[in-house]
Structure 1
Amino acid sequence: MSLSVHLTRPWLLADLGRPRRVLSFAPHRPGFATADRIVWREVRNADLPPELDVETWFSAELGQNGHSAAVAMLTSRDIGRYQVARTKVAGICVGCVATVGLGNAERIGTRRTTPRAGHGTINIAVLAETGLTDTAMLEAMTIVAEARTAAVIEAGLMLPGGPATGTGTDCIALAADVGCGGYAGLHTALGEAIGRAVHAAVTAGAQDWMAEQGFAPNPTRLPMLEEANLD
């Protein structure tokens, strides 16, 4: 598995081993791009005042640190709490790196009107060691999102409308070589491998965040986010 992870605060780097096709909705180099790494930049509120042009600032930060050619994401989650999961199904290797914070959790189809108790997001980088078409990469992205959502629901963080399903600022970046693989659904080995790796990484990250915030498992009453006292 070519995926390796390097932490040098405030940067977390997922090294893809060589240039790959990356599909993402990351704030830096979104859409389809070619990159040999996916990076996180950890931020705090003080780093991003309301008047700041975040895109310009982020681009400058990336350039000063040699990451302009990377696909890059921002997070207020402690990047030292990153999770890595690797799996292999029918010869297809998949690796996932995830940082998981649920402080700005949301439930699909709703938006909270009460003040958010804290900040945090789920940023996911996935490397599939196989060649894929554009269509298969799009399908694979849906598997990443489904696995993330399942892990968040299973974490059991409750919002007024029901269990949280994600956060308001989640980001996914999926890397693979260009190739002829045309399918990545749940019936495929690739879909199974992606789902297994992403679910494992996000589950571990969500459990870590819940424990860090003092949420104890309770089968009769799931924790409500508004009860948290988050920094």
Structure 2
Amino acid sequence: MRVTLDHPWLELDLGAEARVLSWSLTRPGFVTARRILWREVRNADLPEDLDVLGWFHGELAARGARDAVAMLTSRHLHAFETAEAEVEGIRAFCLATVGLSNAEHIGTRMDRTGTDWGTINIALYLDLPLNDAALLELLSIVTQARTVAVMEAGFDLPTGRATGTGTDCIAVAAPAGDTPFAGLHTPQGEAAGRAVHAAVRKGAEIWMRDVRRPD
């Protein structure tokens, strides 16, 4: 894995093409890609009348990165966190940016008008070849690990303890293959969950310490 910060971009080079699953704005669903990108934005970059998707595709084209799975965040990119875990020879690598400025408690919504959209963006790479069903299961493991890490950080809202943000995005990646499972009882699920939990927990703690605005 190679991580490159070239403001306002953060790039994760997977080293080779992989199967990627995400709900990215630019290449959602199951795709083949070698790199995952973050683009840092401020509120002024995204006025209400902007075609955000068209603008973002233009930004990627200018960078020569139409092929990338890409995400947006207002979290300062220098605050990215990485974590790795290995279980029974299976390695997981996580890169995450963690901001909670538009945090929510699951099942509720707060008025976030005028708020910087810090968001939580996660990329998880597993070196075990997986089929598409296993990638779906892996996505559930990453989501669970993110939620636990955020709740452990202890950011309490009027609606309850934060469980995520309204604009989180997750991308999971692995070589294409035949492994059919990636659940909690598997070494691949354990490695993925451990790496994501560590990266998001540290990022959330830093946000709570350095960025959180007083109530």
Q: The TM-score by the shorter chain falls in which range?
A: over 0.9
1:120 aligned residue (118, 121, 138):
118
- 1:161 shift after superposition: 2.4
- 1:162 shift after superposition: 1.6
Distance 2:17 2:34 in 1: 4
Q: Deviations over 1:8-40 (max 9, x none)?
A: 000000110011010000111110111100000
TM-score, normalised by the number of residues in structure 1 = 0.90
1:53 aligned residue (51, 54, 60):
51
2:128 is paired with a residue of what secondary structure?
Answer: strand
The number of equivalent residue pairs is: 215
**Residue aligning to 1:7:** 5
- 1:118 shift after superposition: 4.3
**Residue aligning to 2:205:** 207
Q: Deviations over 1:72-126 (max 9, x none)?
A: 0000000110000011000000000000000000010111147575431000001
Question: CA 1:117–1:10 in structure 2 vs 1: closer, same or farther (change >3 Å)?
Answer: closer
Q: Is contact 2:37–2:71 with CA below 8 Å preserved after alignment?
A: yes
Matched, 1:36 2:16: no
Q: Residue type of the partner of 2:52? A: V
Distance 1:89 1:109 in 2: 34
1:149 aligned residue (143, 147, 150):
147
Q: Is contact 1:116–1:226 with CA below 8 Å preserved after alignment?
A: no
**Residue aligning to 1:222:** none
Give me the identity figure in percent: 56
Distance 1:41 1:114 in 2: 21
Q: Deviations over 1:155-209 (max 9, x none)?
A: 0000112210000000000110111111111111011000000000000100111
**Residue aligning to 1:78:** 76
Deviates more, 1:200-209 or 1:111-120: 111-120
Q: Is contact 2:94–2:199 with CA below 8 Å preserved after alignment?
A: yes
- 1:4 shift after superposition: 1.6
Q: Is contact 2:43–2:116 with CA below 8 Å preserved after alignment?
A: no
Q: Is contact 2:153–2:204 with CA below 8 Å preserved after alignment?
A: yes
| Gap runs ≥5 in structure 2 | none
2:174 is paired with a residue of what secondary structure?
Answer: strand
TM-score, normalised by the number of residues in structure 2 = 0.97
Higher Cα radius of gyration: 1
Deviates more, 1:115-124 or 1:78-87: 115-124
Q: Is contact 2:18–2:175 with CA below 8 Å preserved after alignment?
A: yes
**Residue aligning to 2:107:** 109
Distance 1:129 1:118 in 2: 35
- 1:148 shift after superposition: 0.1
1:17 is paired with a residue of what secondary structure?
Answer: strand
